[in-house]
Structure 1
């Protein structure tokens, strides 16, 4: 087909107009959100809720992209990247950040909260606990701003070979723990042998016998298919998990005040949404795991587990220099 010079000029002008129009509607800022988990999981639901609210309320001035399943790395590495602003935001469990924020170790203390709703009231935005950890972020100089602390489901135990019905069944088992002294000391009290394994390496560790027992949220257990290597689930509900939504200070400081408010408000809204999703998932997943994946589910007497750890709470807080946090949570 012959294209005249006049047609070429018209086409060129049209393309240029399209490029200019596209640029006019491009976002002024972009945010990359990291989560470590696969869907279905409250963290990914929270990330999507933040994306939807931020993009809508900023009228397209902020574009948000979600990287789930650890695409951007494991949490310790991501926290390091956030200090430089190469990753903008993360939603994850506080237990994976104890190397940078040792005070987060208090949240892995077993049987600390009665329910997720009461947990959110105690640690959520506007609480004395939230303000305390805002100050700790600043004191540590880790390059992150705390947007919200929240509740994201109960953590339960699962094992490769042993069906656990009481504390006596745990003695001698190799227990996977995150890099948290609280976890290590807690499970040692049951006669277990703590083995520190990163979340992304947990499937292989259970499969090869490096670890024989683990604990996790139900969405994490399901989404990572850990039921394939740890098919015995014990509903200990020993920890009601606390998550943090944090943002790179570099990224935060780039935003004008009106957009900072939008991002902060979206994090708070997503926090409450995450609690509802966590309750929904926990209720549905137990049935699904048993009926569809052949998981053996046991319902132990939690009082027997609580009896073992109750005397440890104050001692753990003292040993790990977490007395201030323990007292704050118990007020």
Structure 2
């Protein structure tokens, strides 16, 4: 059994130095951008509980909340380098800097409905993407969280294709995200997540897209109170570990982590998919948001499919995409 000891630079919250092995304990370091009430954090807590339950040795967890260690793009770098963050939950598009194929699992309009989404995540359909991510980024997927339905959130109502035209909106950094919303007529821009609130407030952008839990948790409704039910994405949010750390762990702990990741992922998916509509309604009842139907979703699907096909072909993943669509 191992203990990981790293020097801490408090000002930047970045840990430097190599892993040292001593003593009889394991301490794993985690990160969440959110508080204890968010489904990401609840899922990571369940992951910790399950690992401790399944592992015969002694293990401790140091999970930092509320963005103390930065945002998801920072976590990706830390995981890749094997510093500061050992485990977290990430949007696939934020890992595109290392693995250009991984955002395929997070493409808008990939899943028909929750049943389709559950079938895909319960299979090995994404195994080639997992292997590429491990090789290219040094990041191991141990389970799948997700289930939030992403909609448009904007300063002014967006209710149809005409109003969507040239809508200045933030998207995640993976190119497929910008290409998708460009195809439906919007004006997408990749902006850091922690800059979205101010960017809307100052008029740099007019909105963004996200799931209900994050809109509520980070109070985005204060600047983007109009929710348009485009329902363009059912989220896939891998529970991940740094391969540099994972590979140094004893085999029985690795086995416990993979089993715990699968179970914690199922827990998190049920939690988030079940709560999504309730959170939207809770914000609406509180007068924080106004919910709008969106006319033209079928047209959006028609416009987006060629973009998906071209992206998959570019990655050599046409068969994977067809397998997912066919489930």
Shorter-chain TM-score bucket reads 0.7 to 0.9
Gaps of 5+ in 2: 1-22
- 2:88 aligned residue (87, 90, 98): 90
Question: What is the alpha-carbon distance in structure 2 between the residues aligned to residue 184 and residue 84 of structure 1?
Answer: 27
Partners of 1:237 and 1:38 lie apart in 2 by 25
Q: Equivalent of 1:100, from 75, 98, 102? A: 98
Which position in structure 1 is the counterpart of 2:260?
266
Q: 2:202 aligns with which of 208, 227, 243?
A: 208
Inter-CA distance 234–40: structure 2 relative to 1 (3 Å threshold): farther
What do residues 258-307 of structure 1 show as CA deviations (whole Å, max 9, x unaligned)?
11111111110011011111122212111111111431101224334334
1:68 alignment partner in structure 2: 65
Kindly report the root-mean-square deviation, in angstroms, between the aligned alpha carbons of the 2 structures: 2.2
1:192 paired residue number: 186
Deviation at residue 123 of structure 1 after TM alignment: 3.1
Q: Please list the CA deviations of residues 233-282 of structure 1 after superposition, one character each: whole Å capped at 9, or x if unmatched.
A: 01111011111111112221232111111111111001101111112221
Partners of 2:134 and 2:106 in 1: CA distance: 22
Question: What is the distance in 2 between the residues matched to 1:293 and 1:56?
Answer: 42
Measured in 2, the distance between the counterparts of 1:169 and 1:279 equals 28
Residue of structure 2 in register with 1:116 after alignment: 114
Q: Deviations over 1:12-67 (max 9, x none)?
A: xxxxxxxxxxxxxx971011122233453321121010111222333561111222
CA distance in 2, matches of 1:303, 1:274: 29
Aligned CA distance change for structure 1 residues 267 and 27 (closer, same or farther; 3 Å): farther
State the partner residue of 1:309: 304
TM value normalised by structure 2: 0.85
Equivalenced residue count is 302
2:152 matched to 1:157?
A: yes
Shift in Å, 1:132: 1.0
TM superposition shift of 1:320? 6.3
SS in 1 for 2:101: helix
Which residue of structure 2 aligns with residue 129 of structure 1? Answer: 125
Structure 2 CA distance, aligned partners of 1:280 and 1:27? 40
Q: Determine which of 124, 139, 142 is the counterpart of 1:147.
A: 142
CA distance in 1, matches of 2:80, 2:147: 25
Structure 1's unaligned 5+ residue stretches are: 1-25
Give the TM-score taking structure 1 as reference length: 0.84
Q: 1:52 aligns with which of 28, 49, 59?
A: 49
Structure 1 residues 283 and 120: CA distance shift in structure 2, 3 A = same
| Separation in 1, partners of 2:162, 2:75 | 38
2:26 pairs with one of 22, 25, 29: 29
Alpha-carbon distance change, 90 to 215 in structure 1, aligned in 2, over 3 angstroms: same
Q: What residue is the counterpart of 2:15 in the other structure?
A: none
Which has a greater percent of helix? 1
Aligned match of 2:281? 287
Q: Classify the secondary structure of the residue corresponding to 1:128.
A: coil
Distance in 1 of aligned mates of 2:46 and 2:185: 42
